[in-house]
Structure 1
Amino acid sequence: MSDISLAVALALCATAFLAGWVDAVVGGGGLVQLPALLIGLPPHLPPTYALGTNKVVSLCGTAVSAVTYARRAPLDVRAALRLGAVALASAAGGALFASAVDKDVLQPVIMVVLLAVAAFVVAKPRFGGAAPGAAPSRRRRAAAVLVAGVGVGFYDGLIGPGTGTFLVIALVSLLRMSLLTASATAKVVNVGTNVGGLLVFASHGAVLWGLFPFMAACNMAGGWTGARMAVRRGNGFVRVVLLVVVTALVARLAYDQWWA
């Protein structure tokens, strides 16, 4: 913490608030917070410190968002806890394998998927507008465990940015949730992915515990604000933020892939 100036620390705290707000509404706060940490931390620190600090800060904000949603929005607690437990283990596995995978190969694939998601959301104005009365079949629930729990959880441990967005899309598509309910459920699952990744990074000492309390407080404030705003404004507001976040995430990945 002594190597970080007051101006940089304040900028990181402001970024943490914005990231918490974005993450609470539709996911994707990591695309705001992680780059800020990579830029703001002293150059002698390896990138794993940015990843580890991002995880512990995000965990606090996501937990506050999850509690806020649980009190104010419809939430399938049983499905959320089941997926969260699977995602925790999968994210830990992803974090362990992070150094062994060439991310330059994965990023173009992720960009194509995100562009397809954006096109689908634009083409289907009623996507996530309301959950139908019929409960999802056992096959759909199993698919949700594989995609949202195993797949997205592993991705969060491996790369990270956009995890909440992927969770929202998977929950709406597979479990037929509304966007608001999917955002609420995704927060609980995201707590699991953050815990899984954090266990690995913390065990390697890659967390700046001196900076953590200040960024965490701001991230929690942003998460609380974002969750309340999403509940108050409903699915239409979440849909607009989803499109903005998907576009920003594609741009960020494109920059990392070809220009960084």
Structure 2
Amino acid sequence: MTTDISLTTLLVLCLAAAAAGWVDAVVGGGGLLQLPALMVALPHVPVPHAIGTNKAVAICGTAAAAVTYTRRAPVNRRTALRIGLAALGGSFAGAFFASGISSAVLRPLIMAILVAVLVFVLLRPAFGTDALPTAEKQVSRRRALAAILVAGLGIGFYDGLMGPGTGTFLVLALAAILHMDLVTASGTSKIVNVCTNVGALVTFSFQHAVIWQIAAPMALFNLTGGALGARMALKRGSGFVRAVLVVVVLSLVCKLGYDQWGSG
């Protein structure tokens, strides 16, 4: 599918992609910016094409952030890949069941979970802010298996089923289950997210639901934003990531609330 857009519109989309890459690299949730921008800028494009284009762009920023984190943060690549492979399988399963489940039913549940998460994070100022580089090495096999099941299969399934906030959920789950600081959790989540995005992108590509001439320039900006976001998170530490996390969770609650009650 091809579409003609003005240079101004393309520039706006590229700037949105850069901002989304930055947010996604820090704590996840970049899709809150990028996907709505695509849908507003391309109102006549089918929704699957907007989602497929979004995935093609997002994978670049996520990959750049993953590389940056693995070079500078204590990310256990082996554990991340195990969770990522489980998430890949979960995302395929979620996509398979997506057509049979109403998002209108799921949104209130996800919102309730997010509100509970927000309250927890606000009431626990130390959550994910203690730098524990060896924490991942000290976790039991039971916790490692729980991370694979929850952060891998569970959140991967959600990503294929619905999607919004997947990166944020991954950061929270990894920090809670494996006792990672938020910077390490964010770095690990990027590797997992690359795996789920690969599966989604392959699916959308086979369906010819990616507008490559728009995705290509946006991907360059998203990649730059992802690399900058990862470097800033590494430089400023878990306290900074926690602050961005609170903002993103609030934004996600508002977005899901609007989709549920305000868009009709």
TM-score tier by shorter-chain length is: over 0.9
Mapped partners of 1:239, 1:144: distance in 2: 20
For 2:142, which of 136, 139, 142 is the aligned residue? 139
The range that moved more, 157-166 or 222-231, is: 157-166
Q: Check conservation: 1:4, 1:42, Cα contact below 8 A.
A: no
Q: Name 2:69's counterpart in structure 1.
A: 69
Mapped partners of 1:93, 1:50: distance in 2: 21
Amino acid at match of 2:121: V
Query: Is residue 155 of structure 2 the alignment partner of residue 148 of structure 1?
Result: no
Q: Which secondary structure does the structure 2 equivalent of 1:9 belong to? A: helix
Equivalent residues in 2 for 1:116-135, closer than 5 Å: 116-130=116-130, 131=132, 133=135, 135=138
Mapped partners of 2:240, 2:148: distance in 1: 27
Q: Name 2:23's counterpart in structure 1.
A: 22
Give the deviation of 1:4 after TM superposition. Answer: 1.8
Mapped partners of 1:213, 1:238: distance in 2: 29
Q: Name 2:219's counterpart in structure 1.
A: 216
Mapped partners of 1:96, 1:229: distance in 2: 37
Deviations 1:145-192 (A, max 9, x none): 111101111111222120110000000111111111000000000001
Give the deviation of 1:3 after TM superposition. Answer: 2.3
Give the deviation of 1:2 after TM superposition. Answer: 4.0
> How many aligned residue pairs are there?
259
Query: Is residue 203 of structure 2 the alignment partner of residue 193 of structure 1?
Result: no
Q: Name 1:158's counterpart in structure 2.
A: 161
Root mean square deviation of aligned Cα: 1.3
The range that moved more, 14-23 or 83-92, is: 83-92
Amino acid at match of 1:7: T
Q: Name 2:8's counterpart in structure 1.
A: 7
Mapped partners of 2:174, 2:219: distance in 1: 27
Mapped partners of 2:158, 2:8: distance in 1: 33
- Structure 1 gaps of 5+ residues are none
Deviations 1:23-76 (A, max 9, x none): 000000011111111111141x21001110111111111000000011111101
Q: Which secondary structure does the structure 1 equivalent of 2:126 belong to? A: coil
- Structure 2 gaps of 5+ residues are none
Give the deviation of 1:88 after TM superposition. Answer: 1.4
Query: Is residue 51 of structure 2 the alignment partner of residue 51 of structure 1?
Result: yes
Q: Check conservation: 1:94, 1:155, Cα contact below 8 A.
A: yes
Mapped partners of 1:138, 1:99: distance in 2: 35
Mapped partners of 1:42, 1:114: distance in 2: 29
Mapped partners of 1:107, 1:204: distance in 2: 27
Give the deviation of 1:91 after TM superposition. Answer: 1.3
Q: Which secondary structure does the structure 2 equivalent of 1:69 belong to? A: helix
